Amino acid sequence: MAKQILTAICYFASQAFKIFSKAELVRATNNFCNDNKIGVGSTGSVYRGVLDDGQQVAIKWINVTRVGFEESSDEIKTLRLVKHKNLVQMLGFHARRSERALVYEYMNNSSQYYHLHTTRSSTLMSWNERLKVALDVAMAIQYLHEYAGPRIVHRDLKSSNALPNEKWTAKVADFGLSRLLPEDEA
């Protein structure tokens, strides 16, 4: 049954995303080197990587033993349905047996949390920059709640999932806990 689910997910997701081999991800992250680790969450670790074509990416390596087989595929199914300027774009994935990885565009300015709560941040955010990030996040959530089809509830909105770029345009990340709303609840 698990193999059939994986096959179906890979087929439908491959219509929108690139399927990466483990070898490509190993090369991109220098064998998942700790120097490239940019985050750790409840479902796994996120690494900065550079693909063979030079594109910088963020690779979320999912610990399937902690998450479960079907739950590890929910993020792929959800992100296949959405596209918005304030949502981190998923570029592809890796799914083989008990291995799962999601490949995203790389946001090069850390997280809102980092800029608000750490003294290591070289850039103190102005109030205008903070407001811009908040408005970008609000536009992303409005899209998910009102315009995405089907509508989506993020369920893990926090400053560490708001990722600004160098111009302080923010994108919402981490859809691992998100849920699709049934039509009758929308």
Structural domain spans, the chain = 2-105, 112-185
Domain 2-105 architecture: 2-Layer Sandwich (3.30)
- Of 82, 133, 111, 101, nearest to 24 (Cα)? 101
Lowest pLDDT segment from 43-47, 82-86, 108-112, 122-126 = 122-126
Domain 112-185 part of CATH 1.10.10.10: no
Backbone φ and ψ for 29, nearest 5 degrees, come out as -105, 5
- pLDDT (tens digit, 9 = 90+) per residue, 89-105? 999 999 887 889 999 99
Q: What is the pLDDT of residue 181?
A: 81
Q: What is the pLDDT of residue 136?
A: 98
Reply yes or no on whether 156 is catalytic: yes
Q: Which of 53, 156, 174, 184 is catalytic?
A: 156
61 contacts 102 by C-beta, under 8 angstroms: no
Mean of all residue pLDDT scores within the chain = 85
* Band of pLDDT at residue 47, cut at 50, 70 and 90: very high
- Of 57, 132, 46, 51, nearest to 89 (Cα)? 57
